[in-house]
């Protein structure tokens, strides 16, 4: 394989707070090749946003402790001085955020904000930058762009604002676009439009995309590869095809079983994952997922699982302490419509040791869970 | 937008009429002494008093007097005559307006520049020693009464009585057209005193607002664009953080134009505040009434300007 566009190696990001050290990102490794799409999936508080913000050095101003390497075309962004990193931001790597209304400055015209993005990296005249802004607004499908360029963000609908955010991100033709929950704040019908837009732009401009989401439906449509994050770590990574066909990690199973399928019909039972994501200050011992895992065994609270290759499937890794064969059988049972308890009994696995989290009110994977998730102010 | 401005202007006129009614009641109806007698001065006899009463319409009914009062005011800006000197109040006020304007506008420039810059620096280094020192100083300046601060600065720096004689002291004011250099130096101490408290408030407001604004999503967007931190703070952050300052700036200037009594008295500056102070000691009602009216006028005007400025500053206000 050729040199990837972005290679993140053993990235750690920590925040020191009054309550203790928040281990927001705990040693993650992934790569994105030019022109490909990586989906990073996880509940809120899993560290997926912090990881991507760190790529652009945006956690620096929040006093984050960062270690590991973020290699972008061979340059280590973690070690890059601020001035050089600034030349990368919004130019070679651009970012689209979750809430397009609060992410656009309310007091400046949309066009002005795009022009500013152009002029931050290109020495062009104001008129040329404005031309470019209008061109991009047209490209992302904003009707009447030479008039709308002078509108304020509050005059745009939610979908149009996100289109404007995307236009702003693409104005300098980045090689990598990081989209952090780009459709979460939007109506369902608009969500599909925005995803289709991103796919079209990726084809036309040939950029790589990292899409961060808690919505498996989004990555199913867009991603070539998927990484599932839990409590600051990647617990499973695979191509999108393998991830949906033969997921290996109980957390991934939980995510897949808690979203409805059209084919499943009205009778399909959804199985939520019990409990809430763990605090990133006081993380559970051993496998961080063991308090919520229906298949946990006593020694899983002791042993810390590593991301290991999955047999027969290239580029598929999972961090789970269960036997590989056992996992295949469990997934087969779940696939035939069993509940986690039925599947566990079918393969003859003892019941997990009691843990308060397993009886706590469930948080569905599709919705953002509420609960004691430490907010890392981003 | 134009409808918004018209609505603000009409509201201002209504407010002015209410203020005038209050003034009328306060100075024409409530005083126990007969205005005609006060006007007549020492050489009074019933005939003169009756004459005065007739000339000034004091023999008419109160509503008729109010109407007359409004008419004189709106048509001729007639504020009556001083009981004490007999000079027209309008002229007395216009004569003293330049001194007050000099004091207030110069002070405003100082308090905006000082307040905003200290606020920005404090916000960017929140928690540092510099931040704590400047916020501590700000607290002292907010709490210090103006007249006390005035006397202290005179004691320390005035060229006649000061410990370190570097600035002209009380009573040194010269008009701008007479001698610009002397005008400037004579106003340095009054400007600093007038600006101190307000600058301190502005610094604290800017600091708080900027710290809050810098955690907004659109600041993250600005950083993600690859802008310099300087531009992120001064363009994107300050643009939002400064809005409330613009609002209170108009009001602060308006209020001070009508009530710079203490500083003008301490520094012996012949402005409206001092005119008012002297008139009060002489029970010279027409002057007091005139200065209060001018003060109210400034405040109403400032309010309208602030409202309109706010619509320009925040595009979201314009359309709602």
DSSP character at residue A59:
T
Residue B28 lies in a domain: no
Q: Is the pLDDT of residue A332 over 70?
A: yes
- Listed residue (A302, A289, A287, A258) closest to A358, CA to CA: A289
Question: Which distant-in-sequence residues (6+ apart) come within 8 Å of B290 by Cβ?
Answer: B79, B80, B89, B90, B92, B93
Between A309 and A359, where is the model more confident?
A309
Q: Is the pLDDT of residue A187 over 90?
A: no
* pLDDT band (50, 70, 90) for residue A264: low
Question: Do the Cβ atoms of A84 and A73 come closer than 8 Å?
Answer: no
pLDDT digits (tens, 9 = 90+) for A295-330: 988 889 889 899 889 888 888 999 999 988 899 999
All domains of chain A in start order, with CATH: 1-92+174-245 (3.40.50.300), 106-172 (no CATH), 249-359 (no CATH)
Q: Could you please report the per-residue DSSP string of A164-218? A: HHHHHHHTT--SEEEEESTTTTS-HHHHHHHHHHHHHHHHHH--EEEEEES-HHH
Q: Could you please report the per-residue DSSP string of A209-226? A: EEEEES-HHHHHHH-SEE
Chain CA centroid to CA A30, Å: 12
Q: Is the pLDDT of residue A371 over 50?
A: no
Q: Which CATH number characterizes residue B304's domain?
A: 1.10.3720.10
pLDDT digits (tens, 9 = 90+) for B148-195: 999 999 999 988 888 888 888 888 888 888 999 999 999 999 999 999
Q: Which residues of B touch A (CB under 8 A)?
A: 215-218, 220-229, 236, 239-240, 313-316, 319
Give me the mean pLDDT over the A181-202 stretch.
87
Strands (E), A272-375: 308-309, 317-318
For residues A297 and A229, what is the distance between their CA atoms, to the nearest angstrom?
Answer: 21
Q: Is the pLDDT of residue A172 over 80?
A: yes
B-chain residue closest to A52, CA distance: B224
Chain A residue numbers with beta carbons less than 8 Å from the beta carbon of B315 are 106-107, 152, 154
For residues B2 and B13, what is the distance between their CA atoms, to the nearest angstrom?
Answer: 17
* pLDDT band (50, 70, 90) for residue A267: low
Best to test chain A binding among B226, B236, B311 (most A CBs inside 10 Å): B226
Residue B175 lies in a domain: yes
Residue A360: per-residue pLDDT: 58
Best to test chain B binding among A107, A113, A122, A133 (most B CBs inside 10 Å): A107
Highest mean pLDDT among A245-254, A270-279, B80-89: A245-254
Question: Do the Cβ atoms of B194 and B146 come closer than 8 Å?
Answer: yes
To the nearest whole number, what is the mean pLDDT of chain A? 87
Residue B76 lies in a domain: no
Q: Do A86 and B224 touch (CB under 8 A)?
A: no
Residue A87: per-residue pLDDT: 93
Residue from the list A87, A102, A120 with its beta carbon closest to the beta carbon of B218: A102
Q: Do A91 and B226 touch (CB under 8 A)?
A: yes
pLDDT digits (tens, 9 = 90+) for B283-310: 788 898 889 888 888 889 888 888 888 8
Domain count, chain B: 1
Residue from the list A86, A106, A165 with its beta carbon closest to the beta carbon of B226: A86
Chain B residue numbers with beta carbons less than 8 Å from the beta carbon of A15 are none
Closest approach of A285 to chain B, Cα-based (Å) = 33
Which of A285-294, B47-56, B220-229 has the least mean pLDDT?
A: B47-56
Q: Domain containing B236: what range?
A: 96-318
Q: Which phi and psi (to 5°) does residue A161 adopt? A: -65, -40
Q: Is the pLDDT of residue A21 over 80?
A: yes
Residue A377: per-residue pLDDT: 42
pLDDT digits (tens, 9 = 90+) for B239-269: 999 988 988 898 899 888 877 888 999 999 9
Residue B35 lies in a domain: no
Residue B46 lies in a domain: no
Residue from the list A106, A107, A120 with its beta carbon closest to the beta carbon of B227: A120
Closest approach of B125 to chain A, Cα-based (Å) = 12
pLDDT digits (tens, 9 = 90+) for B25-45: 888 777 666 767 777 777 778
B-chain residue closest to A83, CA distance: B228
Residue B4 lies in a domain: no
Which of A10-14, A189-193, A256-260, B101-105 has the least mean pLDDT?
A: A256-260
Residue from the list A91, A107, A117 with its beta carbon closest to the beta carbon of B315: A107
Which of A112-126, A166-180, B277-291 has the least mean pLDDT?
A: B277-291
């Amino acid at each position: 394989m050729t040199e990837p566009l972005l290679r993140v190696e053993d990235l750690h990001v920590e925040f020191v707070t009054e309550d203790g050290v928040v281990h927001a990102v705990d040693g993650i490794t992934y790569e994105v090749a030019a022109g490909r799409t990586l989906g990073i999936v996880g509940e809120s508080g899993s560290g997926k946003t912090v990881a991507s913000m760190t790529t652009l050095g945006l956690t620096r101003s929040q006093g984050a402790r960062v270690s590991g390497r973020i290699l972008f075309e061979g340059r280590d962004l973690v070690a890059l001085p601020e001035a050089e990193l600034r030349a990368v931001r919004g130019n070679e790597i651009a970012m689209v955020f979750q809430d397009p209304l609060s992410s656009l400055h309310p007091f400046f015209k949309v066009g002005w904000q795009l022009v500013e993005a152009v002029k931050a990296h290109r020495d062009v005249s104001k008129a040329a930058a404005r031309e470019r802004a209008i061109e991009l607004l047209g490209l992302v499908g904003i009707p009447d762009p030479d008039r709308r360029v002078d509108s304020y963000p509050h005059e745009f609908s939610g979908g149009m604002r996100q289109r404007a955010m995307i236009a702003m991100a693409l104005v300098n033709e980045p090689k990598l676009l990081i989209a952090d929950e780009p459709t979460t704040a939007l109506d369902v019908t608009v969500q599909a439009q925005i995803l289709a837009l991103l796919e079209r732009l990726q084809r036309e401009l040939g950029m790589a995309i990292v899409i961060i989401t808690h919505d498996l439906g989004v990555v199913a449509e867009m991603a070539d590869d998927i990484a599932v994050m839990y409590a600051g770590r990647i617990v499973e990574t695979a191509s999108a095809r393998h991830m949906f066909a033969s997921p290996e990690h109980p957390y991934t199973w939980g995510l897949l079983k808690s979203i409805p399928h059209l084919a499943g019909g009205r009778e399909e039972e959804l199985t939520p994952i019990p409990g809430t994501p763990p605090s990133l200050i006081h993380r559970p011992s051993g496998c961080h997922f063991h308090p919520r895992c229906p298949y946990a065994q006593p020694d899983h609270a002791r042993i810390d699982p590593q991301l290991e290759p999955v047999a027969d499937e290239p580029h598929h890794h999972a961090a789970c302490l269960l036997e590989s064969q056992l996992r295949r059988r469990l997934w087969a049972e779940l696939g035939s419509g069993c509940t986690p308890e039925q599947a566990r009994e079918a393969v003859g696995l003892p019941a997990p040791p009691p843990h308060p989290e397993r009886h706590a009110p469930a948080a569905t994977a599709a919705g953002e869970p509420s609960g004691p998730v430490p907010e890392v102010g981003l | 937008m134009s409808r918004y401005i018209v609505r603000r202007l009409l509201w201002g006129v209504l407010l002015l009429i209410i203020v005038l009614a209050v003034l009328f009641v306060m100075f024409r109806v409530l005083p126990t002494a007969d205005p005609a007698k006060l006007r007549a001065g020492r050489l009074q006899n019933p005939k003169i008093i009756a004459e005065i009463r007739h000339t000034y319409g004091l023999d008419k009914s109160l509503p008729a007097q109010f109407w007359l009062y409004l008419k004189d005011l709106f048509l001729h800006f007639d504020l009556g005559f001083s009981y004490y000197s007999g000079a027209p109040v309008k002229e007395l006020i216009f004569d003293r307006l330049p001194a007050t304007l000099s004091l207030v506008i110069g002070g405003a420039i100082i308090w905006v520049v000082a307040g905003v810059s200290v606020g920005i620096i404090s916000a960017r280094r929140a928690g540092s020693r510099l931040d704590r020192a400047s916020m501590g100083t700000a607290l002292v300046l907010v709490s210090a009464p103006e007249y006390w601060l005035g006397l202290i600065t005179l004691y320390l720096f005035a060229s006649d009585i000061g410990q370190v004689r570097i600035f002209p002291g009380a009573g040194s004011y010269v008009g701008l057209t007479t001698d610009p250099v002397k005008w400037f130096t004579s106003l340095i101490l009054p400007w600093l005193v007038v600006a101190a408290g307000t600058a301190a408030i502005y610094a604290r407001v800017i600091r708080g607002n900027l710290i809050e604004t810098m955690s907004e999503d659109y600041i993250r967007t600005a950083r993600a664009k690859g802008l310099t931190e300087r531009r992120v703070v001064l363009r994107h952050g300050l643009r939002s953080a400064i809005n409330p300052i613009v609002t209170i700036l108009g009001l602060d200037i308006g209020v001070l134009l009508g009530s710079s009594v203490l500083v003008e008295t301490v520094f012996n500056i012949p402005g409206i505040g001092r005119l008012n102070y002297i008139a009060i000691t002489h029970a010279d009602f027409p002057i007091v009434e005139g200065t209060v009216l001018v003060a109210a006028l400034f405040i109403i005007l400032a309010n309208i300007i602030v409202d309109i400025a706010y619509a320009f500053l925040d595009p979201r206000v314009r359309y709602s």
